[in-house]
Amino acid sequence: MINSKMICKIMGSLFFIEAGFLILCALLAIYYKETDLTAFLSSAAITAGAGIVFSIFGKNAERKISRRDGYVVVSLAWIFFSLFGMLPFYLSGYIPSITDAFFETMSGFTTTGASILDNIESLPHGLLFWRSMTQWIGGLGIVFFTIAVLPIFGVGGVQLFAAEATGPTHDKVHPRIGVTAKWIWSIYLGLTIAEVFLLLLGGMDVFDSVCHSLTTTATGGYSTKQNSIAAFHSPYIEYVITLFMFLSGINFTLLFLFFLKGKFKRLIENTEFHWYLGTVGCFTLFTTVTLVLTSPMGIEESFRKAIFQVVSLQTTTGFISADYMTWVPVLWTLMCIIMLFGACAGSTSGGIKCIRIAIMSRVSRNEFKRIIHPNAVLPVRINRQVISSTTKSAILAFTFLYIAIVFIGWLLLMILGVGFEEAYSVVISSLGNVGPGIGKCGPSYSWSGLPDMAKWISALLMLIGRLELFTVLLLFTPGFWKKH
């Protein structure tokens, strides 16, 4: 059975944390003397009130969390965080539609970065910071953040980590999941602070530096400017953000071992990192050569725009330094392919992930060998470890479901009147937590023109994609709710 009391207790703790972040944004509203103060205080009060109610229901809960409880907690956490997180946008009147406010918030927490706003600069500083903060919280995971700061989960933290972490395998740098969470969050925080410092050196002001650093390390892509990074007209800023987007696409366990343990060899010899580096390099080279041959840009500018956009889309950050819809059509197709790839498992990026692509490629290669040598034993090895048949089956199931959801979502959006190109890119972008699409949902446009039902579908796809399909879809299977 579901441990409903423990679920309520955990949810109550999560709501208190969210209320704390809302109060932090209220302090910004006081500092800048802007009109969103009341909205933040009201939102914090409502969220804290819900925390009190859930904590009361969770009183005297048995400190035990099953795997099934973990899936319920994680799914509910992301939905309720978005419901309460949309309140500042809605109550302040800056996003007067519940559909749009929920879409913007879900896009934030899932680090998708798609927006319905047509004039981002008109928002007060508190709301702009809250948009960035939603992505930073959601980057490594809402529940994973709580595991790091609150010792309320006990051994159940492993179940929650498994339900929220990305990738087919989950690495731990310490036997205790709470310690693992603290160390990984220390890397996350360190990258954010380092980027703030470097952006300040590039002439960006403190507020913009903080907001963009929060959304870069989260690979979220929310900007304080309508034209995203292109608004700053700074090659230095583009290169700095490219670097930190790339770093944030690497498995954070590897970053921890590299930066804090000095294990450079573990990073260099990692198979997934090879694929990540190789795909970024190949896509960048192709895009650079194409731009040099087909646009008026010089070699340096072509390389800079190419590597920025490739890294932005492969890490599913979604920042824009140039409108790639003005490039030749072959690059539009390439950008959509890049959105599917994703970066490394265990990072803040979305998409299919390089580790799955690496394993599938080796399984495919082995099938050719098996035809020639039917009796040969051909294990699939990643980082010198044999991949189990269970993991290979899970990856095959994930890939099938991913493609199936893309086609179902594509069909549904076209039924709702969304154009062929736009429907495809919206589904790919939402499920992969990327942000920009193509056509009228491309980098120069917001998604405000989508029908309301299409926005709700996109929001659901964002959640499914962020929690890697199974965590959410399991809740819709009858067997999940059976007593045994």
Q: What is the per-residue DSSP string for 193-253?
A: HHHHHHHHHTT--HHHHHHHHHHHHTT----SSTTGGGGG--HHHHHHHHHHHHHHTS-HH
Q: What are the distances in angstroms from CA 468 to CA 75, 101, 163, 353, 399?
A: 11, 24, 9, 10, 11
Q: What are the distances in angstroms from CA 313 to CA 180, 223, 336, 337, 349?
A: 28, 15, 9, 9, 10
Q: Give me the sign of the Cα torsion angle 95, 96, 100, 104.
A: positive
179 annotated as ligand-binding: no
Residue-level pLDDT at 406: 95
pLDDT category at 155 given cuts 50, 70, 90 is very low
pLDDT category at 9 given cuts 50, 70, 90 is confident
Angle, to 10 degrees, between the axis of helix 142-149 and the axis of helix 177-201? Answer: 110
Can you list the positions of beta strands (E) in 275-434? 381-382, 385-386
Q: Is the pLDDT of residue 28 over 50?
A: yes
CB 284 within 8 A of CB 356: no
**From CA 81, how far away is CA 15, in angstroms rounded?**
7
pLDDT category at 172 given cuts 50, 70, 90 is low
3-state class of 122 per DSSP? helix
pLDDT category at 166 given cuts 50, 70, 90 is low
220 annotated as ligand-binding: yes
User: Amino acid identity, residue 379?
Assistant: P
CB 429 within 8 A of CB 442: no
**From CA 77, how far away is CA 116, in angstroms rounded?**
23
In 3D space, the residue among 231, 407, 234 whose CA is nearest the CA of residue 320 turns out to be 231
CA-atom Rg of the chain in angstroms: 22
Global pTM value:
0.91
Q: What are the distances in angstroms from CA 476 to CA 25, 380, 404, 429, 464?
A: 36, 33, 16, 23, 12
User: Amino acid identity, residue 109?
Assistant: F
Percent share of the chain, pLDDT over 70: 92
DSSP state of 480: G
Torsion on CA atoms 346, 349, 352, 358, rounded to nearest 10: -50
Q: Is the pLDDT of residue 386 over 90?
A: no
Residue-level pLDDT at 156: 47
The stretch 257-276 carries a mean pLDDT of 86
Query: What is the chain's mean pLDDT, rounded?
Result: 88
383 annotated as ligand-binding: no
Percent share of the chain, pLDDT over 90: 57
477 annotated as ligand-binding: no
pLDDT in tens, 40-66: 999 999 999 999 999 898 887 777 777
pLDDT category at 378 given cuts 50, 70, 90 is confident
In 3D space, the residue among 324, 298, 303 whose CA is nearest the CA of residue 313 turns out to be 324
317 annotated as ligand-binding: yes
433 annotated as ligand-binding: yes
Q: What are the distances in angstroms from CA 320 to CA 106, 328, 337, 342?
A: 20, 17, 17, 17
Q: Is the pLDDT of residue 343 over 60?
A: yes
The number of residues in the chain equals 484
Looking at 148-162, 235-249, 279-293, which range is the least confident one?
Answer: 148-162
Residue-level pLDDT at 110: 93
**From CA 480, how far away is CA 324, in angstroms rounded?**
44
Residue-level pLDDT at 452: 95
